[in-house]
Amino acid sequence: MKILGIETSCDETAAAVVEDGTGIFSNQIASQVEIHARYGGIVPEVASRQHLLSIIPVIERAMTEAGVSWEDLSGIAVTVGPGLAGSLLVGVNVAKAIALSRGLPLIGVNHLEAHIYANWLGDGSIDFPVVCLIVSGGHSDLVLMKGHGDYVVLGRTRDDAAGEAFDKAARILGLGYPGGPAIEEASRQGTASIQLPRAWLKGSHDFSFSGVKTALLRLVEAGKVSSVADAAASFQAAVVEVLVTKTVVVARERRAKKVLLSGGVASNSVLREQLVKHSPFPVLVPPPILCTDNAAMIAACGYYRLQAGRTDGLDLDVVPSLKLA
Ligand code: KG4
Ligand code: ZN
């Protein structure tokens, strides 16, 4: 069963064809990162205009790469939220038009749920329960997944998301945008020798990353940072230590069969290595291209929703602040 996935929640226009929630036939991504880099962050109006320009060519490329025709598809899955309203609208309206004109089921997908489903793009054999850490530009969620579509959020960020913290730290250190890859790159030349605070929030599985970011800012303002590489490595180590420690605690508590890492920050190699090193349970992490925003994960998630009979009507609307559970 092949599903066309469409993703336009933020600054990537993406379309992909995936079979049975696991097999990638095509995965097209048009990134706007260079356009937004000029402004040091995402400009919502620019993002939605760019989605409008890119969406049809990207879908055409995904269909051509997959070598399928419309008759081969069993559904159209599209991100409805969370994300930027104007950006989400582009994908949702194109998806509705295709579903209506081709008589295909329309499946609205939660972007965060889809990040988790990036882990199914492979052999797809995952036994429940699993504990998932979703770390992206807008979210840091620790989730117990008991079955398909069955989530309990056990912890979430109280302020900055992990990716947002990376982006802000990079700006403080003059490393440019997007910050995550810039911090990772800079940290390769440094050591984590600067003491930065970790917010453990005892008794809670929530996260907080604004303190470590502010501590870094104070050090820079006081002229106490002599090596940007050491500062980047120290910041990365502080964020990774909290993410890994809390994830391992929750996985033990819930006797997870596996730990699933996902979201843009999951492409960070130090986070990947440290989680694998410290987790008593097997860790699954998608390849970096499936950690950052893509439409293959939307199609994979859409497949499981379709299997559960959870399709949508043409009154489907965007939900910019959609939560996981
Ligand atoms: O999942 P994603 O592509 O978009 C959202 O749904 O937000 O995540 C983007 C975030 C950005 O904050 C970016 O800085 C971060 O993921 N990121 C990284 C790395 N690559 C991307 N953070 C740390 N290390 C990386 N290598
Ligand atoms: Zn995302």
pLDDT on residue 209: 98
Packing angle, helices 228-253 and 210-221, rounded to 10: 170
Nearest atom within ligand 1 for CA of residue 163: 12
Q: Which of 179, 196, 92 is nearest to 136 (CA)?
A: 179
Which residue has its alpha carbon closest to ligand 1 atom 19? 180
Nearest atom within ligand 1 for CA of residue 167: 14
Give CATH for domain 128-285: 3.30.420.40
Give the CA diameter of the chain.
Answer: 63
Confidence label for 325 from pLDDT (cuts 50, 70 and 90): confident
Name beta bridge partners: 262. 134
127-150 pLDDT, tens digit each: 999 999 999 999 999 999 999 999
Name beta bridge partners: 283. 259
> What's the token pair of residue 65?
């790469």
The CA 137 to ligand 2 mean position distance, Å, reads: 7
* pTM for the predicted model, two decimal places: 0.96
Peptide bond into 286 cis (omega under 30): no
Number of residues assigned to the chain: 325
pLDDT on residue 185: 98
167 pocket-lining for ligand 1 (C-beta < 6 Å): yes
The CA 267 to ligand 2 mean position distance, Å, reads: 12
Confidence label for 290 from pLDDT (cuts 50, 70 and 90): very high
Q: Radius of gyration (Cα) for the chain, nearest Å?
A: 20
81 pocket-lining for ligand 1 (C-beta < 6 Å): no
Sheet holding 150-156, edge to edge: 150-156, 140-147, 130-135, 258-262, 283-284
The predicted model gives 216-222 an average pLDDT of: 98
Amino acid symbol at 91: G
Q: Which of 176, 168, 162, 165 is nearest to 134 (CA)?
A: 162
d(CA 308, CA 292): 26
d(CA 76, CA 2): 9
The predicted model gives 230-243 an average pLDDT of: 98
Name beta bridge partners: 27. 16
pLDDT on residue 26: 98
d(CA 156, CA 41): 23
> What's the token pair of residue 263?
């979201």
Residue 50 DSSP one-character state: H
- Same fold for the pair 2-118+290-307 and 128-285: yes
d(CA 167, CA 265): 11
> What's the token pair of residue 179?
């910050």
The CA 287 to ligand 1 mean position distance, Å, reads: 13
47-78 pLDDT, tens digit each: 999 999 999 999 999 999 999 999 999 999 99
187 pocket-lining for ligand 1 (C-beta < 6 Å): no
150-163 pLDDT, tens digit each: 999 999 999 999 99
Identify which ligand lies nearest to the alpha carbon of 267. Answer: 1
Confidence label for 175 from pLDDT (cuts 50, 70 and 90): very high
Residues in CB range of 57: below 8 A, 6 or more apart: 30
* Residue 298, CA distances (Å) to 51, 91, 128, 289 in order: 17, 12, 20, 14
* Residues of the chain above pLDDT 90, percent: 96
Nearest atom within ligand 1 for CA of residue 137: 7
Per the listing, tokens 């590489």 go with 229
- Domain-by-domain residue ranges, the chain? 2-118+290-307, 128-285
The CA 202 to ligand 2 mean position distance, Å, reads: 28
The CA 136 to ligand 2 mean position distance, Å, reads: 6
> What's the token pair of residue 13?
């226009």
pLDDT on residue 64: 98
pLDDT on residue 124: 85
Confidence label for 40 from pLDDT (cuts 50, 70 and 90): confident
Task: Please state the CATH superfamily assignment of the domain spanning residues 2-118+290-307 in this structure.
Answer: ATPase, nucleotide binding domain (3.30.420.40)
Q: For the chain, how far is it from start to end, CA to CA, in angstroms? A: 27
